[in-house]
Amino acid sequence: MNTLKWVNKMVETTTLPAPNLPKFPLARYLKNQPDAVEDRVVLHAPQAIAYAAGSSEVQRFTPTNSLDAWLLRSPQGATTVDIPAHFVSGDDPIVLTGPKNAGGLLYVHVGKGAKVTLQEKWASGGHVLGIWLMLVVEADADVNWLSYDSFTADTVLVNRTATLAANAKLNWTLAGFSHNSGLNRVDVRLLGHNAEVTVNVGVLASGNQHVNYTTSVTNEGQHTVGHINQRGVITGNAHLMFNGIGHIIKGARGSDAQQENRVLMLSQRAEGDANPILLIDENDVTAGHAASVTRVNADQLYYLMSRGLSATLAKRLVIRGFLEGGLAEIDDVRLKKELFATIDRTLVAEDA
């Protein structure tokens, strides 16, 4: 299966091919109309960076599948950010903040050899939101990207796509602390040789959320490295599904595809799935996966309680530790504290 055929097939059938979103009723979601919006993503950059917003920016988004087409169906605010070649970001990250009550389109281009830290934050409310992030990383660039989702909308479909040119590096963390149901798709294509991506996902699902995180990395260039690491904690009636897809295409010799998908269920009614999928069309590669769906680790609880901590507190700390497996790369101390506080609050509210 090569990429071109794959794209053709999608245009034909206007549904995503099965391996791409296993066990997710995308068609049902796509029957909803996305909220129409004019608001745009706000940029906060410590240094001067090219930023453009307006309807003309929409043309950068070319739909290749039914989800893309849906995202463009209603008028959406579009923003483009251009990080110049060899740009080096300072201590403060560049922050992109989603509009208060809207989704939208966000195109970020990172020029050749740039070294940059970016945060993308969404806390939007609304009925049905669509978000499309398109990240293009040029050769030799090094990108640290944090996506922090705390949507309050009912339904959100997020499509985050990235392409990496030769020797580019992307260290991506996705913190999912939202209240919505829907889809979070991350799709990274390693086009150039030696390109490397790590996608870390840490999700807290609670209440009646029904969410799917499908993270796929396609190794297309030679000697490319793609690692997926997803951790999710589920409380209440929530249902969380992790799909991890590692695809090494024919010719991508010397490449590596690894993934780990782990969910921890805290309540009887919580439901979790972890589906690792490896599609390997080349022999000279390394690949591996691990998956688990578990409940709280009793030995760890016992250890903490043997120091006098109550069962509730011990449980909260163990859960933190589990999620930390997906959030370890976040070195923004304030943000980390905020996330941990959210975990504690959610667990108290759900009495988990």
Partner 1 sequence: MHTLEIKDLHVKIKAEPEHPEILTGVNLKLATGEIHAIMGPNGTGKSTLAETIMGNPAYEVTQGDILIDGESILGMAVDERARAGLFLGMQYPQEIAGVTNAEFIRAAINARRPEDDQIRISDFLKQLDKTMATLEMPESMADRYLNQGFSGGEKKRNEILQLMMIHPHFGLLDEIDSGLDIDALRIVAKGVNLMRGPEFGSMIITHYQRLLDYIIPDVVHVMKGGRIIESGGPDLAKKLEKTGYEHLKVGEQNG
Least distance (Å) between residue 272 CB and partner 1: 19
DSSP 306: T
Least distance (Å) between residue 323 CB and partner 1: 7
Round to whole Å and give the CA distance between 327 and 337.
12
Q: Which residues pair with 219 in a beta bridge?
A: 190, 248
* CB closer to partner 1, 48 vs 298: 298
* CB closer to partner 1, 128 vs 327: 327
Least distance (Å) between residue 123 CB and partner 1: 23
Q: Which residues pair with 21 in a beta bridge?
A: none
Measured over the CA atoms of residue 71, residue 241, residue 101 and residue 108, the dihedral's sign is negative
- First-residue to last-residue Cα distance in the chain: 44
* CB closer to partner 1, 90 vs 321: 321
Q: Using an 8 Å Cβ cutoff, are 49 and 94 in contact?
A: yes
Q: Using an 8 Å Cβ cutoff, are 246 and 289 in contact?
A: yes
**62-73 burial, b if ≥16 CB within 10 A, otherwise e?**
ebebbbbebbbe
* CB closer to partner 1, 51 vs 340: 340
* CB closer to partner 1, 5 vs 337: 337
DSSP 268: S
Least distance (Å) between residue 203 CB and partner 1: 15
Could you list the residues that contact partner 1 (CB under 8 A)?
Answer: 298-300, 302-311, 313-314, 317-325, 328, 340
* CB closer to partner 1, 145 vs 322: 322
Q: Using an 8 Å Cβ cutoff, are 303 and 320 in contact?
A: no
Least distance (Å) between residue 231 CB and partner 1: 10
Least distance (Å) between residue 331 CB and partner 1: 13
Q: Which residue has the tokens 């309680």?
A: 305
